Structure 1
């Protein structure tokens, strides 16, 4: 399956059976993408992991 990277607009290839919230990497820009829909396949930029500094 393929979709388009929302960051650089290049084609991203996903596994044959992508899983909702799976993280993919764009081969072109190395952006981390989260699968937000499996039918049709849609991805969005994955949220950044925030530091909580022990809070």
Structure 2
């Protein structure tokens, strides 16, 4: 018996909790490492980290501001 995993672009792969406000965050099935996802409630930006085994973890995104030469 064979099973196939169908990945639909934009489909939700899994749900996780925001570390800031505990709201539910949907992680899409086509997410890539380095992509930024945002909490729908508090707006916290989180960077997606994929390891070599395909495990997904999130860390607060380090958004760099523009350098205005000051």
Unaligned ranges ≥5, structure 1: none
**Over 3 Å off, 4+ runs:** 50-53
Structure 1 window deviating more from structure 2 (2-11 vs 26-35): it is: 2-11
**TM-score, structure 1 normalization:** 0.73
Give the number of equivalent residue pairs: 55
Which structure would you say has the larger RCO, counting Cα contacts within 8 Å and 6 or more residues apart? 1
Larger radius of gyration: 2
Unaligned ranges ≥5, structure 2: 1-13
Q: How does 1:1-55 map to 2 (within 5 A)?
A: 1-37=14-50, 39-54=54-69
CA distance in 2, matches of 1:51, 1:17: 29
**TM-score, structure 2 normalization:** 0.61
